[in-house]
Structure 1
Amino acid sequence: MVRLRRRTALGLLLGGAAASVLAPVDPVLGRPHDAPPARRQVPPARRQAPPVERENRAPGEPWWPPEGGRPADDRRRQIQGYASTTSVAPGGVIDFHVAVNPAGRFRVSVHRLGWYAGAGARTMLTSPELRGVPQPVPVADPVTGALDCRWPVSWRLPVPKGWASGLYQAVFTSASGWRSSTPFVVRDDRRAAALCVVLPVTTWQAYNQWPRDRRVGRSLYNGYRPDGRRDPALRARAVSFDRPYSGAGLPIHADRDEDAIRWLERNRYDVSYATSFDLHSGRLDPSRHRGLVFCGHDEYWSAEMRRAAEAGLAAGTSLAFLGANSVYWHVRVHPGGSGRPERVVECAKTPPDPGADEGWPTVTWRDLDRPEQALLGVQYNGIVLSPQPLVVRSADHWVWAGAGVADGDRIPGLVVGEADGLNAGVARPGQPGETTLSSSPYPAQQGGRRLQSSHVYETPRGAVVFATGTLGWTMALDRRGHRDPRIERATANVLDRIVGRSHTT
């Protein structure tokens, strides 16, 4: 485990200065007997811990899988729901739309995900008992295939002003014990943390096949044929947030973000949280933070998201991509059928693109002559057939400092899922000091063997851009059976450089 000093991004003093040994204090004068009044000693001020660090001092408890609960499924849809927004500030309001089949009583419990001494979450509150009824699966939009539920509001939550920024899960539990959930983020619009974790909700929704019933469910990847088989030709060209996540409501790939969240909070980084839509809309201003952290699989980016990230980088905000296949598809964002903003993600991927007259077509960023490698330094190059070791390169670089690695060392099982690599024929950032940190052969689903690479560079303004190039990186931070101290140290080296924090071995 990497052990880190508790120093803030602004370089403040370590929390808890050593106590001075003072002479006995006079009970009347309030000063040492032998000290003149003019030299009264004042103890140094203690550092105020950031909000998320204070939050983690509270006792926690695991939030999933629920003891005694049964996960809901998409065929019977015993209980499922969705939130009215992907993020909310303390003092704001979030609505939950819940369907219960058959009709009956249910409750909503809200949990914040974090470290909490290893518990992984804290239960924040539970709703009163509510009445739920079945709700229909909507007919898909005939042009885009989007499924827009428009269910009525079941419960409204005014978010307490004292809640810390974070990833939250609302868990819906029926009287008969069926459970499902939906995620949302509490932002911190008042205080600029050193790091802002940007959760990839556009990618979570792109993979959402709700309802996974072998009949009508659609994602940006597949639809269903009459025989119940998934077919990419029947995929949706737009997906709506006004629907549950499939099954028990756990977005595909979100566990990678959770691994990183636990590690960041365990190591007491000064963090806050936002979503892809916050970056898209301007609610998240990158210039307010030392760095933005994109933890997991962050594949779907709007033009507004990319412009904001690149503007922040030009102004000196660092970018850390802890996953792979980032900034791959260009998307458009639209209001939902109810008129609420940021409820539909559109990505046709191939012609025809019904909305192409509104701007760039929704194809890969490479097809728009804006390859992701120009920003990240590497780009997606394949699906990894089986877990492979990450092969260390440039072991003398500061990213690997203290990790105890040498060139050619193999860190087992780290190259998994999807991988990035260098493409010699594609534009690169063009910054001095660009460094390839790994060169890892892997068998690709697309055929043959390819090379995974992690990468880092720094801009003239001192910003760092780091890309791990694998979906296995965050697993090595805090997932049981996968943790690796070498990856923990390398990650700490990157983030400490971004926020200006020192650490001990």
Structure 2
Amino acid sequence: MYVSTTAPGFRASAYRIGWYGGAQARLVWRSGRVAGRHQHRPRLKSGTRTVQADWERTTAVPTGGWPEGAYLLRLDAESGHQRYVPMIVRSASASGKTLLVHAVATWQAYNRWGDYSLYEGKDGGYGSRSLAVSFDRPYDKNGAEKFMVYERAAVVLAERLGIPLAYTTGVDIHRAPSVLRGATTVVSLGHDEYWTPEQRRYVTRARDAGTNLVFLGANTCFRRVRLEPLETGSVRTVVCYKSDYKDDPYLVNHPTMPTNDFRSPPAAQPESSLTGVLYEGYPTDAPYVVHGTDHWIFAGTGVKRRDSFDHLVGVEYDRVMPQTPAPGPMEIVAHSPLVCKGRSSHSDSAYYTVPSGAGVFATGTMRWVEALMAGTRENGGNHGMDARTGAFVTRATENVLRAFAAGPAAKRMPPARDNVRSVYGHNGHTTEKTDR
């Protein structure tokens, strides 16, 4: 653990996230007092404007015997300040289990610690942004914002269900895809935007071997990134030039490996061929409108056709695009009218199956995981969603995870009924994501 603090000392505590009878976390370790030290300023690599904190190690955390899972380290300074460090104790295998995949590349892409992210530089401008970001720096804000907002509630729900679980990250699938072998389900959590082509290829291969897929957010698998190792061989850098991909010197010898959007040339590969839906816009705030009331995903929710749930669609959304590549049969189970930047469109929740028997469900909204907390004491930043919405999303998520945990969904559940043509009598139009 590498810590910089102006306090004379601090203590660290490690909590495993889970159900624990409603407590949602369990203390597994606590340090003694650690002397504080203010470490030197990070350096900025000029070529890619990469912030890197080359700090000296403060202390070691003994993780031997810790169960695999999602953890938060809490740092408590003697000055009263507090900070979190998210950490995944990854599983060696997910055979026979539901694999939760934490989106650490996306965490890092949005991380502005040191005044730079993949979105903006020190002056707040897109043109001065980082072209590559390093894991060798803390996370900004409370240290665990992306995990807390888009992932934690899904972990708690999955643990409460008692289904066999495994844990990993997108970076670790890129490094060691063997973890996918025999998994019943792969779950992409609420904001999982940045993928490597290798990660995408391995997850697609798992689907085609019978592993179900769940996409609990929106804007998933949108950015194509490259991971670069340090001299030690460990992967510590996420590269994404985006609209400036032609400036990447790596392209000189690898012309078909740009770090731009998956749907963009060269090597265009729209994310819909995996997720079934395509990212369209930001920002929006709209009701979620049920379309297929008799679908097994909604069993026990009591919903009727055209029932709606305020604010559940946002802040980014996906939809089915009839003219883009996508597997089939494809069934739209929610079709939600919205307005984004003055333009009318829809967000879609969709379910499809493939010949291996795997089922794939995409929610089409980034607020799905946040909605799991709606109406509870955790209801702090979930955009006005109420307890009714929380109950609906919770039950639907439980239905999906339980059904998928039993094996290839198409072999046990009613088949997907292709309704894209009846829902979309005309071709939709996509809009490109902007970085502002």
Show the 5 A alignment for 1:14-53.
none
Partner SS state of residue 243, structure 2 = coil
**Structure 1 residues 109, 253: CA separation in 2 closer, same or farther (over 3 Å shift)?**
closer
**CA-CA distance at 1:462 after TM superposition:** 1.1
Could you say which residue in structure 2 is the equivalent of 1:164? 67
Q: Which of 448, 452, 471 in structure 1 is aligned with 2:347?
A: 452
User: Is it true that 1:353 corresponds to 2:248 in the alignment?
Assistant: yes
Q: Which of 298, 303, 308 in structure 2 is aligned with 1:400?
A: 298
TM-score by length of 2: 0.85
Q: Which of 268, 275, 284 in structure 2 is aligned with 1:385?
A: 284
Contact 2:216–2:362, Cα closer than 8 Å, also in 1: yes
**Structure 1 residues 254, 303: CA separation in 2 closer, same or farther (over 3 Å shift)?**
farther
Partner SS state of residue 382, structure 1 = strand
**CA-CA distance at 1:277 after TM superposition:** 1.2
Q: Which of 356, 359, 362 in structure 2 is aligned with 1:464?
A: 359
Could you say which residue in structure 2 is the equivalent of 1:112? 16
Q: Render the CA deviation track for 1:390-428: whole Å, top value 9, x for unaligned.
A: 111122222222322222111222112110012232111
Could you say which residue in structure 1 is the equivalent of 2:338? 442
Q: Render the CA deviation track for 1:256-281: whole Å, top value 9, x for unaligned.
A: 20111111112222212111111111
**CA-CA distance at 1:248 after TM superposition:** 2.5
**Structure 1 residues 234, 253: CA separation in 2 closer, same or farther (over 3 Å shift)?**
farther
Partner SS state of residue 280, structure 2 = strand
Partner SS state of residue 284, structure 2 = coil
Partner SS state of residue 346, structure 2 = strand
Q: Which of 52, 70, 76 in structure 2 is aligned with 1:173?
A: 76
Q: Structure 1: which amino acid aligns with 2:336?
A: S
**CA-CA distance at 1:340 after TM superposition:** 4.9
Q: Which moved more, 1:465-474 or 1:130-139?
A: 130-139
CA separation in 2, counterparts of 1:289 and 1:496?
14
Q: Structure 2: which amino acid aligns with 1:371?
A: P
Percent of residue pairs identical: 35
- Where do 5+ consecutive residues of structure 1 fail to align? 1-95, 212-216
Could you say which residue in structure 2 is the equivalent of 1:137? 41
TM-score by length of 1: 0.74
Q: Which of 206, 210, 227 in structure 2 is aligned with 1:312?
A: 206
Q: Which moved more, 1:373-382 or 1:276-285?
A: 276-285
**CA-CA distance at 1:384 after TM superposition:** 3.2
Q: Render the CA deviation track for 1:191-222: whole Å, top value 9, x for unaligned.
A: 635201000000001000003xxxxx100011
Contact 2:94–2:180, Cα closer than 8 Å, also in 1: no
CA separation in 2, counterparts of 1:190 and 1:451?
38
Give the greater-gyration-radius structure (CA).
1
CA separation in 1, counterparts of 2:217 and 2:210?
22
Q: Structure 2: which amino acid aligns with 1:440?
A: S
Q: Which moved more, 1:488-497 or 1:176-185?
A: 488-497
User: Is it true that 1:155 corresponds to 2:54 in the alignment?
Assistant: no
**CA-CA distance at 1:454 after TM superposition:** 0.5
CA separation in 1, counterparts of 2:178 and 2:54?
28
Task: Report the RMSD for the aligned CA atoms in angstroms.
Answer: 2.0
CA separation in 2, counterparts of 1:287 and 1:382?
34
Contact 2:297–2:399, Cα closer than 8 Å, also in 1: yes
Could you say which residue in structure 1 is the equivalent of 2:145? 251
CA separation in 2, counterparts of 1:305 and 1:236?
22
Q: Which has the higher helix share?
A: 2
Could you say which residue in structure 2 is the equivalent of 1:262? 156
Contact 2:272–2:324, Cα closer than 8 Å, also in 1: yes
CA separation in 2, counterparts of 1:451 and 1:278?
34
Q: Render the CA deviation track for 1:137-187: whole Å, top value 9, x for unaligned.
A: 2231111111111111111123122x2211111122222222112111012
Q: Render the CA deviation track for 1:263-306: whole Å, top value 9, x for unaligned.
A: 11122222121111111112553222100111210000001100
**Structure 1 residues 284, 201: CA separation in 2 closer, same or farther (over 3 Å shift)?**
farther
Q: Which of 468, 490, 493 in structure 1 is aligned with 2:399?
A: 493
CA separation in 1, counterparts of 2:33 and 2:218?
42
User: Is it true that 1:185 corresponds to 2:81 in the alignment?
Assistant: no
**Structure 1 residues 248, 477: CA separation in 2 closer, same or farther (over 3 Å shift)?**
closer
**CA-CA distance at 1:190 after TM superposition:** 5.6
CA separation in 2, counterparts of 1:109 and 1:492?
31
Partner SS state of residue 43, structure 2 = coil
Could you say which residue in structure 2 is the equivalent of 1:18? none
CA separation in 1, counterparts of 2:133 and 2:96?
32
